[in-house]
Amino acid sequence: MRRLVLGFGLGLGSGAALAGAAELIVQVKPSVLPVGTFNPLDSPRFGFRGSGFVVGDGNLLITNAHVLPERMTQSTALEPKLAVLVRKGPDSAEMRPAALVQLDRSSDLALLRFEGTPLPALRLGGPQTPREGMDIVFVGFPIGGALGFSPVTHRGMISSITPIALPSGRSQQLNERAVRRLREGSFNILQLDATAYPGNSGGPVLNVETGEVVGVINMVLVKGSKETALSQPSGISYAIPVSFVRDLLGSP
């Protein structure tokens, strides 16, 4: 795959251990964005669909593939347009157009490029970074606009790293990468002892000690309806390991 990103070090400084979750949250929040669609004829004009986080050169964003509307994964020429929201102050946000760059349905990840001034990018952990017992936080927009578009942080730990397979919704979604993954069998998923909600999909999971991204929240793996997830949360959430993000970016 062509290398899309040459570095991952923007935004959070050195790899030294951070003082704690409070300091990490302050640094991470500007890099976690609402992902959705924009249509000037809709009300509201921005249709929230999930969370995402900035990587690479500051104009690239990782989210879940299932966050995107189906037709957006086929043609970005159709209305409504992909977009992200960037906070400009306590009570204002800027809508920025986005476009699909890469898609991997086998790991349920998507890479977008958004317009405008680059934002601080999160650092990615190495392929072997996630480990059981690691203290983590994950940041996103649970329940979408119902709570406003201020990033919300949950804290927990990686309780298990276990094999799992993400099924494709239909045969047309089985691209070459997906077929290869199915032939190879299941892959490891991060199980977290913290509760994610609808809207958290695509948000980063971060190592509290280093601030590095170790995974991406994936709500497809939460069983039951949105109402069940809200009224009877299991206290368990799942994330795609950061190694799949590196694969999507073309980084070793």
Sheet strands (E) in the chain? 32-38, 46-55, 60-64, 81-89, 92-104, 109-114, 135-140, 152-164, 187-192, 204-207, 213-217, 237-241
Q: How far apart are CA 210 and CA 60, in angstroms?
A: 21
Q: Which of 153, 140, 148 is nearest to 22 (CA)?
A: 153
**29: its two tokens:** 């929040």
Amino acid 180 reads: R
> What backbone torsions phi and psi does residue 143 show, to the nearest 5 degrees?
65, 20
Catalytic residue among 66, 154, 237, 251: 66
Residues whose CB falls within 8 Å of the CB of residue 12, separated by 6 or more in sequence, listed in order: 27, 28, 120, 122, 123, 211
Catalytic residue among 31, 106, 107, 201: 201
Cβ-contact 209, 182 below 8 angstroms: no
The per-residue DSSP string of 31-52 comes to GEEEEEEE-TTSSSSEEEEEEE
Residue 66: active-site member: yes
Catalytic residue among 51, 104, 106, 108: 108
Q: Which of 100, 84, 80 is nearest to 39 (CA)?
A: 80
Q: How far apart are CA 150 and CA 117, in angstroms?
A: 20
Q: How far apart are CA 51 and CA 48, in angstroms?
A: 9
Which residues are known to be catalytic?
66, 108, 201
